[in-house]
Amino acid sequence: MRMTRRGLLQGAGALGAAALLGGCDTASSGGGGGGGGGAGGPLTWWDHTPNLQAANERIFARFTEESGTPVEYSYHQTNEMGEALQIANQSDQLPDVLTNVGLRLPVPALIDEGWFQAGAFPEEALSRLPETSLIEGIHTFDGKVYSFPVFADRQYWAITWYNTEMLEAAGVEPPTTYDEYRAVARAVQDSTPEETSGVIFNLGQRPRVAEHVNFLAQAAGFPGFGGDMYQTGEVQFHHEAYLTVIEFLLSLQQDGLLYPASGQLADAEARVRWAAGGAGLYMDGPWCPGSLGTSNAEEFLPKLGVAQMVKPDAGTELAAYRAPQGGMYWISGASQNVEAASQLIGYQTEEPYYIDIANGMAQPPLDVSVIEKADVHPAWAEMVGWFQDQVYLAPSPSAKNPRISAVNAMATAIEPDLGMIVQGAFSGDVPDWQGALKELSDKVMAQREENVAAVQAEGVEVSMDDWAFPDWEPRQDYTPEMYS
Amino acid sequence: MTTVMESNPDVLRSEAPPPGRKARRPRQQLWIWLMLLPTVVLYGLYTVYPIVASYWLAFLEWNGFTAEKTFVGLENFQAVLADPLFWNSFRITVIFMLAVVPPKVILTLLLALALNSANLPFRTFFRTAYFLPVVTTAAIVGIVMQFVFDPASGPVNLALRRLGIIDAGINFLGDSSYALWTAAGVYVWKWFGITMIYWLAALQTIPDEVYEAARIDGAGAWQLMKSITLPLLKPFLIIITLLSFESALKVFDLMLTMTNGGPFYATEVVEIYIYRWAFAATVPQLGHASAAAVIFGLFVCVVGLFQIFGVRSVQKARAI
């Protein structure tokens, strides 16, 4: 057959149209691609924790060997995970298993919306968990297990990490109080080359800044977390403890001890620059040594040192409080591989997985006793030991009354938030940051009252008292029995 | 016209297509539309649909995580218009636009005049060099500029310190006094080449004969510029300026990667404000973000109207 020019064009047009129409088919193939949920294809897994990658790869390999099903792993940076999940959900491409960082709705609301489904975890896997690990309203809902913790609750996220070589060269000991912190930063800065600062901070990552300030406020005497006072349920970002912490942080800048680019650095960038010799001190979570990156870790880990969370003065006894945390991994509502996903996640209750978590030096594993069997940096092991003495279980409003999720689901963003106010205080754009904190407290409280009233009007039993725990005592665990 | 056609059958006869041609026309049109189909479909999916959807979303309360979307009428528009941070971002967008367009238009004209000179050696090399940033991804430029302007180890601060101009590093991107102006400078540099190309094209529309005639009449370089080049470039000035105004409203990728709208909203242009409400807020509010996008879209339309008037005035000037 002789092909004419017109025939060629017609054929090409038809092929193009067919390809276009084919390309418009976004239905899950169940085979490859980023979208999960298809039965018979690989299990898809979205994660934001680089420190757990090695631990998870080992259970992936075991799972694939036992079931013949491969696991497709995708990493998303913490800041970007929520956006990725939001878009995946709207395009029906959620993975089988996901971490829920960035999903800002309460878990019950996400379950109602079909984001998560209950697991079919093997009984053997669940039986390995400590007795009080699963809490209704946090891990189980209507008696069904949706997720379980893999990390220990006892930890805080404003640890002082330091460069031992720099402190030794400066002839100073690791700091524990604000005055010592400033003195150490000064000594390090004065005894190192011009480019090295005393302290580096990640002011460019607002949520991380807020976490640091919230934990430091506890060390400064705030009886609550995230602005919420445990005993009364009031919101007090303008509490004396918050003011003390922010004044301390600002003093580092006023004294010229802050790494100059701190204003726009996210934690990952700040951590790398600190490890590269940009500063002597760096405030970070327990995952710091495991998040240095391969090239930095080899060179820097021998110089790594750790000190307890810094407090206003030596007379203050250090205490931090942390509520029971939700699970790390969840099975998406779109998954058609619940059995397989549950089997895979179930491996995470075994001792080798906890050892792998410890080896990755992420957050401490749920069973911290395995640390002695793990290959970890002594500074990280020492830090986990401090957590056992200094961190107490905090009360959780969700555990007291899971119905408050309806109130939390109605919450909208309030700007500027704590992280932004601190950033503005540093940049000089919020000279009256104390007033801004009071305004933030008032706005959060007013919004909560308004939302509680709206939910009550729908017949749901909630009240402002659900945020109050009058029987909470400092330096005491708020145990599961106390909710009743 | 009807009268002429009715009274003159030859006209009718000459305008009527031959029978075979008439039959082929629908088939030809079918193929035209088939060939256009990919563009129409893609344009519809990725341009028209999002615009229409954003108008609809602007009337809803929706966080993007739930299936439930509540119709709230004009509430989102009221919330946006009452939000001081929206007006802050609007003000920053306008300041940015006004800051970047004059230097971009004037400096690129001067450069194009130099590069248009036949006497300039390596002019092709220079044209390419100035155009290179245009083809560099804006997001990459934003990240690289964080290092370039780093107050501790960035080459700009190192140079200023070595020259003795400053004692301590300037936080060009982390200090709200400098951040917007630094971003404006980077934007001008990034898009310098494209405006330069517009000017070069415009300069090449001026016939050499006009210059030769003027030279024969004794005109010097300044007179050539003042009496020939600039008057003949005036219509292009209008178009290039308006295009520059419009493109200065699209800085999302550069600004997000370079400053993320900070410090403390100092570089939060409307596009980042919209993004923050849609994706980065504690609880995203797509309705609020869409309402802001609709309002901003109307502002862009106003700028676009000026562009239409500008094009018409150029066309009129050319017709004269």
pLDDT tens-digit readout, A4-53: 545 544 544 444 443 333 333 333 333 333 445 555 689 999 998 888 88
Mean pLDDT score, B69-79: 93
Residues 6+ apart with CB under 8 A from B36: none
- A198 touches A188 (CB < 8 A): yes
Predicted confidence band at B4 (pLDDT cuts at 50, 70, 90)? very low
Residues of chain B contacting residue A109, judged by C-beta atoms under 8 Å apart: 65-66
Using a pLDDT cut of 90, give the percent of chain A over it.
69
Chain B CB contacts of A91 below 8 Å = none
Cα–Cα distance between A145 and A61 in angstroms, integer? 25
Spatial CA neighbour of A113 closest among A93, A137, A89: A89
By C-alpha distance, the chain A residue nearest B65 is A86
Spell out the domains of chain A, with CATH numbers in brackets: 43-148+325-381 (3.40.190.10), 157-323+394-484 (3.40.190.10)
The pLDDT value given to residue A39: 57
Give the CA distances from residue B193 to residues A352, B180, B240, in Å, rounded to whole numbers and listed in that order: 58, 21, 13
User: pLDDT tens digit string along A61-99?
Assistant: 999 999 999 999 999 987 788 888 888 988 889 999 999
Instruction: Report percent pLDDT > 90 for chain B.
Output: 53
Nearest chain B CA: its distance from A121 CA (Å) = 26
For B259, which residue in chain A has the nearest alpha carbon?
A264
Distance between alpha carbon B161 and the CA centroid of its chain, in Å? Answer: 36
Using a CB-CB cut-off of 8 Å, the residues of chain A touching B45 are 24
What's the whole-number average pLDDT of chain B?
87
pLDDT tens figures, B161-199: 899 898 888 989 988 999 999 999 999 999 999 999 999
CB contact under 8 A, A13 and B34: yes
Residues paired with A141 in a beta bridge: A144
A101: contact with B, CB 8 A cutoff: no
ipTM score for this prediction: 0.75
- Segment A273-296 mean pLDDT: 89
Residue with tokens 């600004």: B255
Between residues B312 and A418, the one the model is more confident about: A418
Q: Which chain A residues are Cβ-neighbours of B175 within 8 angstroms?
A: 263, 427
Ranges of H-type helices in chain B: 2-7, 9-15, 19-43, 49-57, 75-82, 84-115, 123-131, 138-148, 155-162, 179-203, 208-216, 221-224, 230-247, 252-258, 270-275, 286-319
Q: In angstroms, rounded to a whole number, what is the distance separating the alpha carbons of residues A271 and A285? A: 11
Copy the structure tokens of residue A110: 């996400």
Per-residue pLDDT averaged across A427-450, rounded? Answer: 96
* Domain residue limits, chain B: 2-43, 71-319
SS3 A204: coil
CB A417 within 8 A of CB A440: yes
B144 in reach of chain A (CB within 8 A): no
Partners of residue A111 in chain B, C-beta under 8 Å: none
Q: Does A260 reach chain B within 8 Å, measured CB to CB?
A: yes
B151 touches chain A (CB under 8 A): yes
Nearest beta carbon to residue B264 from set A90, A413, A423: A423
Does A292 have pLDDT greater than 60? yes
Of the residues A427, A440, A444, the best mutation for testing chain B's interface (the one with the most B CB atoms within 10 Å of its CB) is: A427
| Residues from chain A contacting residue B46 (CB–CB below 8 Å) | none
CB contact under 8 A, B153 and A413: no
Chain B interface includes A11 (CB < 8 A): no
Distance from CA of A476 to the nearest CA of B (A): 31
Shortest Cα distance, chain A CAs vs residue B27, angstroms: 11
pLDDT of residue B97: 95
Q: Are B263 and A259 within 8 A, CB to CB?
A: no
Q: How does pLDDT run across B114-166, given as a tens digit for each residue? A: 888 877 888 888 888 889 999 999 999 999 999 999 988 899 999 998 998 98
Q: Domain B71-319, what fold?
A: MetI-like fold (1.10.3720)
Which of B:188-247 have CB within 8 Å of A? none
The answer for A 407-446 residues in CB contact with B (under 8 A) is: 409, 411-417, 420, 423-424, 426-430
Q: What pLDDT shows up at residue A352? A: 95
User: What is the structure's pLDDT at B85?
Assistant: 94
Residues of B in contact with A105 (CB under 8 A): 63, 65-66, 283
Residues from chain B contacting residue A89 (CB–CB below 8 Å): 64-65
Residue B229 is classified by DSSP as: I
Residue B318's pLDDT band (boundaries 50, 70, 90)? low
Helix orientation angle between A178-191 and A240-254, rounded to the nearest 10 degrees: 10
Q: What is the pLDDT of residues A162-206, one digit of tens each?
A: 999 999 999 999 999 999 999 999 999 999 988 899 999 999 888
Do the beta carbons of residue A433 and residue A246 sit within 8 Å?
yes
Cβ–Cβ contact A114 with B under 8 A: yes
Chain B residues within 8 A of A9 when measuring between CB atoms = 31, 35
CA distance B132 to A155: 50
What is d(CA A71, CA A61) in angstroms, rounded to the nearest whole number? 8
A30 contact B CB<8A: no
Residues of A in contact with B66 (CB under 8 A): 105, 109, 113, 409
| Tokens 């995708």, residue located | A74
Alpha helices by DSSP H, A149-266: 164-170, 178-191, 206-219, 240-254
Task: Answer whether B279 sits within 8 Å of A86, measured CB to CB.
Answer: yes
**Section B88-92 average pLDDT:** 96
Strands A97-99 and A329-331: antiparallel
Kindly list the residues from chain B whose CB atom is less than 8 angstroms away from the CB atom of residue A415.
85, 281
User: Helix (H, G, I), strand (E, B), or coil: what is residue B210?
Assistant: helix
Determine, for residues A427 and B64 on separate chains, whether the beta-carbon distance falls below 8 Å: no
Q: B283 vs A109: CB contact, 8 Å cut-off?
A: no
CB atoms within 10 A of CB B5: 12
Cβ–Cβ < 8 Å for B240, B105: yes
| Structure confidence at residue A100 (pLDDT) | 84
Polymer length of chain B? 320
- Nearest residue on chain A to B31, judged by CA atoms? A10
What phi and psi, each to the nearest 5 degrees, are found at residue A76?
Answer: -130, 135
pLDDT of residue A122: 94
Residues A307 and A162: beta-carbon distance below 8 Å: yes
CB atoms near residue B10 (< 10 Å) = 8
Q: With an 8 Å Cβ cutoff, are A104 and B41 in contact?
A: no
Main-chain phi, psi angles of A254, to 5 degrees: -60, -35
Name the percent of chain A lying above pLDDT 70.
Answer: 91
Residue A137 has pLDDT above 90, yes or no: no
* Res. B10: pLDDT tops 60: no
- Over residues B255-276, the mean pLDDT reads 93
Confidence of residue A483 (pLDDT cuts 50, 70, 90): confident
For residue A414, the chain B residues in CB contact (below 8 A) are 282
Q: Is B88 on the interface with A (CB under 8 A)?
A: no
Please list every residue in chain B whose beta carbon sits closer than 8 Å to the beta carbon of residue A432. none
What pLDDT score does B20 carry? 60
Q: Which residues contact B304 (CB under 8 A, 6 or more apart)?
A: B246
Does the pLDDT at position B89 exceed 80?
yes
Q: To the nearest whole number, what is the mean pLDDT of chain A?
A: 89
Q: Are B188 and B104 in contact (CB under 8 A)?
A: yes
Is B304 an 8 Å CB contact of chain A? no
> Does residue A268 register a pLDDT over 90?
no
